[in-house]
Amino acid sequence: MNSDALFLMVATQLTVIAITGYFFVRVLMTPPKKEPDSYSENDEADR
């Protein structure tokens, strides 16, 4: 591969991977809101 193509490919893909990972981790790390929320799986009634 030529260096221009390699640089652009690696830079673009690493950026997209990093941003995707960052937002997804934020979703996973954000504590759930107080009940009742939108998500039935963690509802007391369902346990």
Partner 1 sequence: MAAQQKESWGTRVGLILAMAGNAVGLGNFLRFPVQAVNNGGGAFIIPYLVCFLLMGIPLLWIEWSMGRFGGKHRNHSTPFILDTMTKRAFWKYFGVFGIFTNIAVAAYYCYIESWTMSYVWHSIAGTFNGLSQAQVAQFFTDYVDIGITHSGIPYEAVVFYVLCLLLNTWILSRGLAGVERAAKIGMPLLILFGVFLALRGVTLGTSGASAEVPDASAWDGLNFLWTPQFSSLSDPKVWLAAAGQIFFTLSVGMGTIHCYAAYVKSKDDIALNAVSAGFMNEFVEVVLGSLIVIPIAAGYLGLDWVKENAGFGMAFQTMPFLFEKWGPFLSMAAGVMWFGLLFFAGITSSLAMGTPWMGFMRDEFGWGRTKGAWSFGLIVLLLGLPTVLFFQEGVFGEYDYWAGTVSLVVFALAETVLFAWVFGMDRGWKELMSGSDLKVPPFYRFIIKYITPAMLLVVFLASVFTPAGNEWSAALSSLFSGNGWPLDNGSIIKTIANSGLHEQLAAATDAGEIQRLNDRLFYTNLARVMLLLTFTGLAVLVYVASLRRLRTAKYARA
Contact residues toward partner 1 (CB under 8 A) are 1-2, 4-6, 8-9, 12-13, 16-17, 19-20, 23-24, 26-28, 30, 32-33, 36-42
- Whichever of 33 and 47 has its CB closer to partner 1, that residue is 33
Least gap, CB of 10 to partner 1 (angstroms): 9
CA 20 to chain CA centroid, nearest Å = 5
Minimum distance of partner 1 from residue 44's CB (angstroms): 14
**Residue 39 neighbours by CB under 8 Å, 6+ apart:** 32
Task: Extract the tokens encoding 35.
Answer: 């009940």
